[in-house]
């Protein structure tokens, strides 16, 4: 999935869109997405000027954005202006290595379960096959 289709599934835009490409998607199961990390990211100006590191919260947010694409694709539904897909919880977040400019962040997210509109996911972020971060994510779709 290229960026033009990603933009149909996510309301996020620059500078908060954190998915550049979807490499694979198995509806109802898993997604693998990419985020190309560049020195031009606005957060590197202050995090940290002499040793740029992608903030962990943005790595987790990138996993949540991948989860949103997976959810909408699984439901065969595009987002609209009558509802919003909220990221409502994080469990077991761990950060194993820094993510720096030039890295390609590979996001692996799989559905653990869905119950009464609450989706639970298992996410991993990898750089060069090394685990950079992992977390369990909770998301839900709510009317506006």
Active site residue 51: no
Tally of CB atoms within 10 A around 134: 19
What single DSSP character describes residue 120?
A: E
12, 47, 73, 77: which is the annotated catalytic residue? 47
* C-alpha span between 133 and 126 (Å, rounded): 7
CB 138 within 8 A of CB 71: no
Pair of tokens at residue 128: 């060069």
* C-alpha span between 93 and 34 (Å, rounded): 19
Helix residue spans in the chain (DSSP H): 3-9, 56-74
* C-alpha span between 126 and 9 (Å, rounded): 23
Active site residue ranges: 47
């Amino acid at each position: 999935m290229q960026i033009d289709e990603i933009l149909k599934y996510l309301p996020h835009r620059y500078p908060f869109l954190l998915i550049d490409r979807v490499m694979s998607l198995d509806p109802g199961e898993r997604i693998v997405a990419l985020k190309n990390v560049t020195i031009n990211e606005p957060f590197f100006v202050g995090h940290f000027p002499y040793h740029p590191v992608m903030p962990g919260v943005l790595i987790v947010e990138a996993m949540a954005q991948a989860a949103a694409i997976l959810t909408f694709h699984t439901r065969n539904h595009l987002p609209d202006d009558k509802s919003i897909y909220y990221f409502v919880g994080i469990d077991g977040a761990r950060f194993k290595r820094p993510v720096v400019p030039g890295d390609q962040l590979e996001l692996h997210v799989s559905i653990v379960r869905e119950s009464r509109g609450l989706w639970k996911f298992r996410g991993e972020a990898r750089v060069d096959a090394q685990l950079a971060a992992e977390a369990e994510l909770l998301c839900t779709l709510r009317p506006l």
